Amino acid sequence: RIKLEEEQRIKLEEEQRIKLEEEYKSKKYFAQSDAIDLILNNFENEISSIGAYYAPAKQRAIELLDTLRKYKEEAFNDPSREKLISFAQSTKRAIQEATPILQKDLGWGDYLTNLAKQLVNAVTFAVAYAVTFGTTGHQGFFALKSSLAVNQSQNLEESLNSELGQKNC
């Protein structure tokens, strides 16, 4: 009888631990989804500053933004490690495909490189956090390349990481 009660207690504790870990992962995914939304909103603001003279480049940038948002929704609709890895790969590929026209017409090579790195870093952080349940200090895999065109987005990313780090203390 005592052994049965002990087994039930252990089983209940394990179920509670798993539930807490799942809730924590869910909150973390939500925070990372919000961080990615902010990065994409910043990109949208950059697009809105493109003049009419560069209409084909602006259209390509809008298409890229739509694609990135679609990938984000797919990844975070029911997040998993595999979906986040797929998101990182897909966004990187989409940005690389859009780079030639946006670099040629707008000089956005460094900006797009940094955009890809920001998105991948946000996802790598989410994956690392989910796998280790928050026991890692991982803040991203790729270092951003400095550029005048991307200082604002770099500052945004640093602010996001700082705010997310403070909220997780």
- Is residue 44, in this structure, part of any structural domain at all? yes
Phi, psi of 133 (to 5 degrees): 55, 40
Q: For residue 109, count CB atoms less than 10 angstroms from its CB and return exposed for 0-12, middle for 13-18, buried for 19 or more.
A: middle
pLDDT of residue 162: 64
Yes or no: say if 3 and 125 are a contact pair by the CB < 8 Å rule: no
- Position 141 in a domain: yes
How many structural domains compose the chain? 1
In a domain? residue 84: yes
Full residue range of the structural domain in which residue 162 is found: 27-167
Residue 3 lies in a domain: no
pTM for the model:
0.65
* Paired tokens of 86: 């797929």
- Walk along the chain (169 residues) and give the pLDDT tens digit of each residue: 778 888 888 888 888 887 877 777 777 788 888 889 999 999 999 999 988 888 999 999 999 999 999 999 999 998 888 898 899 899 999 999 999 989 988 999 889 988 999 998 888 754 554 444 443 444 444 444 544 444 555 566 666 666 555 554 4
Q: Is residue 7 part of a domain?
A: no
